[in-house]
Chain A
Amino acid sequence: MLEAIVQGVLLGGYYAVIAAGLSLMLGVVRFINLAHGDLAVLGAYLALAAIAFLGLPVWWAFALVLPVMAGIGWGLQRFLFARTLEGGFLLPLLATFGLGAVLQNGMQGIFGSETRSLANYMGNLSWAGWQLPFGLYVGVLPVLTFAAAVIVLGGLQVMLSFTKIGRAMRATSTDPEAAELQGVDARRVQRVATAIAFMLAGLAGMFLAMRAQVTPYAGPAQLIFAFQAVIIGGIGSLWGTLIGGIALGVAQSLGASISAQWFQLAGHFLFFVVLAIRMSSAGPTRERVLVWFDRIADALRLRTRGERKHAD
């Protein structure tokens, strides 16, 4: 049980990275990117291509893929998403749905449908680990992924709270038109946010390919996990995505300890329960649970300064 919880917490780090990008786009650009999971897989395949065709070591491939993903995000926001946003909320959904299909089929056409992994290029990193007290064993890679998640979310927190572009993003997420009246180029800010979100998707995809096998059609499942982490952690709450990711990871890990089929089912069940509570009308149970969530978030100082007292 303890082992499952620890593994679940570490798995939550991966979910937090992929969910942070989805959450950023949802908050700043204001639409759900249905291709987010496919973009994660694209990041993994780009890293594999950089290793195979350019002969780069895995960490250099990481360094190359991240700016490439950022560039793709910038370009798509500039030439596709921004235009679809002018056509209402449905058009960006359809555009990203189509983008996901294009990515899946494109990756299959270029790389084939067989499973691939970055683990082959990382020496013993994919299986190395530490033996801890109480019979616990933790892998180096899950710990690295979790540490990366904390660093990424911490970096985003610092950027959003203390930098000019971060404040512009928060202003744009609240009211893009009012932000423009203060001199903020809201469209540029949205391009920056999309670039960061794509970079995070790519990073998550590379972590995924380091710990598991990927196929061109692995994206939709990753999107579901990211979406579940965002909903469980609370939309718009940066550190909430980490809590959501951890909760999802622990639920899946505990489910898997019961039976292999329960890995995903337990996560879906937790998502359903949290969604039902959040969507239901105000009532004593919902209030108690949400207050409990808020107290944890406040105690851990998990929200940006302005939203701590006025989260809703």
Chain B
Amino acid sequence: MSALAVEAITSRHGLLTAVHGVSLTIEPGEVLAVVGANGAGKTTLFRTIAGLHRPAEGAVFLGGIDITDVPAYGRPHLGLSMVPEGRRLFTNMTVRENIQIACEQTGRSRKTFGAVLDALPVVRTLLGKPAGGLSGGQRQAVAIARALVTAPRVLLLDEVSLGLSPAAIDTVYETLAALKLGGEAAMVVVEQDLDRAMGFCDRLVCMLEGKIVLEGKPKDLTREEVSQAYFGLHKGSNAHA
């Protein structure tokens, strides 16, 4: 059974259709990268999966259960967690409180909290600090810890490297690689850096104007193919609309 299945999702912003009938499946333990230019519909797709945006059509299944009508706040309880674009930490709270709130709201134990800190030692050193005073890389690490503490079966990471220094991006991806090796949780990563995405994921989809125009394993795709799909130049685009 797939960890996450998106079936013919269409999402609109008023009259604008941002996602056109997109279908996707992610297997347990798999890492899927979603790439595409600005306005391709990646973030709207993520927001729809996370429950922040109600789809006009289609359905979302988590572990075979239809969660389309489950509100956003109910999805972390079921094992779907998201690190949003821009991290969006609670800047008026400490790092500990940022993680604690996700832990207690989803009913996870202090043991889970400890396990996440073991997996992300850098976060342990920041616990007492106000989240508003962290660097971009530190914020991303805390945001990932905050998502992990809910013990997700599927982890959505939107624009992982956006606004981070190259060194911070390396650190974040090293952390994600360690998590990837460590469990059954599936990851879906939105990434604008094609090389980074192709080097990290098990499978890649490229979106253009709300549709999937290319899908495949990185070893079966060339950088040029992905790049052409990214900019809408891919002649044999197999859109999954």
**A310–B150 contact, CB under 8 A?**
no
**B130–A310 contact, CB under 8 A?**
yes
Once A177-B52, A184-B73 are accepted as A-B contacts, the answer to whether A306 and B101 lie under 8 Å apart by CB is: no
Please give the number of chain B residues whose Cβ is less than 8 angstroms from any Cβ of chain A in the complex. Answer: 32
What separation, in Å, do the CA atoms of A186 and B106 have in the docked complex?
14
A-B contact pairs, 15 of them (CB 8 A): A167-B93, A167-B101, A170-B93, A174-B93, A177-B72, A178-B90, A181-B76, A182-B102, A182-B146, A183-B77, A183-B105, A305-B94, A306-B92, A306-B132, A310-B92
**B130–A183 contact, CB under 8 A?**
no
What separation, in Å, do the CA atoms of A178 and B82 have in the docked complex?
9
**B76–A182 contact, CB under 8 A?**
yes
Q: How far is the CB of A243 from chain B (nearest CB, A)?
A: 19
Residues of chain A in range 160-204 having any CB-CB distance to chain B below 8 Å: 164, 167-168, 170-171, 173-175, 177-186
> Which of A168, A174, A304, A310 makes the CB contact (< 8 A) with B133?
A310
Interface residues on A, range: 20 to 34
What separation, in Å, do the CA atoms of A167 and B82 have in the docked complex?
20
Q: How far is the CB of B35 from chain A (nearest CB, A)?
A: 22
| B50 beta carbon closer than 8 Å to chain A | yes
**B92–A183 contact, CB under 8 A?**
no
**A183–B73 contact, CB under 8 A?**
yes
| A86 beta carbon closer than 8 Å to chain B | no
> Which of A170, A178, A186 makes the CB contact (< 8 A) with B92?
A170
| B131 beta carbon closer than 8 Å to chain A | yes
| A114 beta carbon closer than 8 Å to chain B | no
**B133–A309 contact, CB under 8 A?**
yes
**B72–A181 contact, CB under 8 A?**
yes
Please give, as numbers and ranges, the residues of chain B lying within 8 Å of A309 by CB-CB distance: 130, 133
Once A185-B73, A186-B73 are accepted as A-B contacts, the answer to whether A306 and B100 lie under 8 Å apart by CB is: no
What separation, in Å, do the CA atoms of A177 and B130 have in the docked complex?
20
Once A168-B105, A180-B52, A310-B133 are accepted as A-B contacts, the answer to whether A175 and B90 lie under 8 Å apart by CB is: yes
Which residue of A is nearest B51, CB measured? A180
Please give, as numbers and ranges, the residues of chain A lying within 8 Å of B81 by CB-CB distance: 181
**A310–B73 contact, CB under 8 A?**
no
The 7 closest A-B pairs by CB, nearest first: A183-B105, A178-B88, A310-B132, A182-B102, A180-B72, A183-B76, A306-B93
If over half of A's interface residues share one DSSP class (helix, strand or loop), that class is named, otherwise mixed; here it is helix
Q: How far is the CB of A281 from chain B (nearest CB, A)?
A: 23
Residues of chain B in range 34-64 having any CB-CB distance to chain A below 8 Å: 50-52
What separation, in Å, do the CA atoms of A173 and B130 have in the docked complex?
16
Which residue of A is nearest B108, CB measured? A183
Most B C-beta atoms less than 10 A away, residue of A168, A178, A183, A309? A183
Please give, as numbers and ranges, the residues of chain B lying within 8 Å of A170 by CB-CB distance: 90, 92-93, 97
Seen from chain A, the residues whose Cβ lies within 8 Å of a Cβ on chain B are 164, 167-168, 170-171, 173-175, 177-186, 304-307, 309-310
> Which of A174, A177, A180, A184 makes the CB contact (< 8 A) with B91?
A174
> Which of B90, B94, B106 makes the CB contact (< 8 A) with A183?
B106
Known: A171-B93, A178-B88, A186-B73; 6 extra A-B contacts, CB below 8 A, are A177-B84, A177-B88, A182-B102, A183-B77, A183-B102, A310-B132
Q: How far is the CB of B149 from chain A (nearest CB, A)?
A: 9
Q: How far is the CB of A162 from chain B (nearest CB, A)?
A: 10
| B104 beta carbon closer than 8 Å to chain A | yes
**B76–A307 contact, CB under 8 A?**
no
**B130–A164 contact, CB under 8 A?**
no
Interface digits, B66-102 against A, CB 8 Å rule (1 contact, 0 not)?
A: 0000011110110001101000111111100100111
Q: How far is the CB of A247 from chain B (nearest CB, A)?
A: 24
What separation, in Å, do the CA atoms of A307 and B97 have in the docked complex?
12
Once A167-B97, A181-B82, A182-B105 are accepted as A-B contacts, the answer to whether A306 and B130 lie under 8 Å apart by CB is: yes
**B101–A182 contact, CB under 8 A?**
yes
> Which of B76, B131, B150 makes the CB contact (< 8 A) with A306?
B131
